[in-house]
Amino acid sequence: MKAEPDYQKYKLFWPDYANVDYESASDIIIHKASRNSSFGVSALAVHGLMTSLSNPDLKKSINKIDLIVPDGQPVRWALNSFYKLGMKDRVYGPELTLHVLRKANDLGLGVFLYGSSKKTSDLFKAFIMKEFPQVRISGQHIDRFREATEEEDIEDIVRINESGAHIVLVGRGCPRQELWVANHLTKVNAVMMAVGAAFDFHAGVLDQAPAWMQKRGLEWLFRLVKEPKRLWRRYLVTNSQFLLKFFKNRLLLRRPY
């Protein structure tokens, strides 16, 4: 196995993003997972970034997460603009999940699915078993769609740890999944990845935007057309807020935070 890569973090408005690509990010995750290290990962796009500014709980917790990767193209563009990092691509949560599963398959690691509906979780499990047959599905926990009681949370932690999972894929939506990951560091003996839509996309429940739209930062438009009632505020309002914040910091403040 490759040695754990070094990486630097760069603050954008508030979250501390790692300067990584798919290869280095998945190497870091597998390095930690193979040792059953308690380690948090979030693929944070524009929506999550802006939510971290407006949601006090998320703002307090987000930088406890060990590895925050730039999920959205606008996040990558902003980091490159402020820091001249030369990032060639974003680190998209669903794609990062595939890189991690591929390497977990090579090592026969255990993966626990936490969150989402029963239908989606079952379909995602079937996808993993077909595409990555050496990955061991250590367990599943369907989302309660509410926060667990203290007793339930202790039960969840014990169940995950006793399952022998090396990686917990968390699909609860932002900010619930990021808060869950941050709050379970040192409690869950595995890498916890907040990857949200990876469950829906790889389960075949939602369609992904064409590659050309993803590369040009237009995935938001594709998803908005697909789910206008649910996503109009996230993309039209939040994206506008991101642009205003970017230009204010870039042109007036001349700093990224």
Give the model's pLDDT for residue 4: 65
Higher pLDDT, 74 or 2: 74
**Position 3 pLDDT exceeds 70:** no
Give the model's pLDDT for residue 2: 57
In the chain, the number of structural domains is 1
Residue 151 placed within a domain: yes
Q: What's the token pair of residue 153?
A: 């949370």
Residue 2 placed within a domain: no
Q: What's the token pair of residue 36?
A: 């059953």
Residue 55 placed within a domain: yes
| Other beta carbons less than 10 A from residue 66's beta carbon | 22
Average pLDDT over residues 32-59: 97
Q: What's the token pair of residue 140?
A: 């599943």
Give the model's pLDDT for residue 208: 80
Residue 186 placed within a domain: yes
Residue 128, Cβ density class (10 Å: 0-12 exposed, 13-18 middle, ≥19 buried): buried
Give yes or no for a contact between 72 and 21, defined as CB atoms under 8 angstroms apart. Answer: no
Give how far Cα 70 sits from Cα of 25, 37, 54, 67, 77, Å.
11, 22, 19, 10, 10
Give yes or no for a contact between 110 and 166, defined as CB atoms under 8 angstroms apart. Answer: yes
Q: Which domain holds residue 47?
A: 10-203
Q: Average model confidence (pLDDT) for the chain?
A: 94
Residue 242 placed within a domain: no
Residue 211 placed within a domain: no
Residue 220 placed within a domain: no
